[in-house]
Structure 1
Amino acid sequence: MKKENILTYLEKKLTEILPERYDWALDWQAKKHWIAIYFRIFVENKMGQEIIDEEGVVASEIIEFEDVIYLCAGKEIPTDALYVYTFDRKKGIAQGVLDALVNQLLISLEDGESDLLDFVTDETMTEFELHWDEKAFQEQIKENQTGEILSYPKF
């Protein structure tokens, strides 16, 4: 049996923890040494508000919001993301860190779904964005020091 790595463990945890209503995908960008977790939340636009996204596209009946979290082991660090976690590729990442990351992502998605619904129904709100609670994430890491160190994926 092949030993679990960061990518295989993340896929297992995301499948296990995130409800099916959240659309997500993993993308290993090997040349940049990034693992991206793309995710989307959706809410129904029952009031028919005209909502225009960053690209100028007018939203329809379903409002969709997409963002990304990066795990970076390279020198190039992305800046346009909900969260970026950097690590040493040779050392890997502790299982507890990935558990905390997935748990905090779920909290951000649940809060974000509620906030997005408020944004769609409240004409006074001019923009929407997801939030990452770094303090809560770090506390979860401290509480969850168990588990093995997972290695960076290999081809």
Structure 2
Amino acid sequence: MEAFSPLTATIGGVLIGLASAVLWLGNGRLAGISGIFGQLLPPAQTVIWRLVFLAALIAATFLASRLFPDLGVGGTEPAQLVAPPAGWSIPTPVWVAIAGLLTGIGTKIGNGCTSGHGVCGLARLSRRSLVAVLVFFGVAIITVTITGIV
């Protein structure tokens, strides 16, 4: 957390909110990434906008990393995968795959992800989203406490 900057965090939050508002107002859809991605396979009838949204998400991240290389958490160092806690004998790719699977299962059980519930659901004053966000944060706090990764 040494690289935290309120300015970049605010700019990022504004851009996420703006993208969510544009998708909602322009397409009538919530910007829940797990729902957008999850409807690609098997393909829903509305595949094109989902592909465009995800491609723009990846392209904007790549562009921002090239235009503003010091914005990342590691400063000018290239990003790396989060390694498992010291003493755990799990290879990093397996650790990341397990984390991804658990995240996918959690978003399926919770009917959405942090972007859907945290950004869009809370903005719509959804009680279900408030409960989901409280659970997300609670589990995150427990996970950091157990693993010691910050």
Could you say which structure has the higher strand fraction?
1
Could you say which structure has the higher helix fraction?
2
TM-score (normalised: structure 2): 0.29
TM-score (normalised: structure 1): 0.29
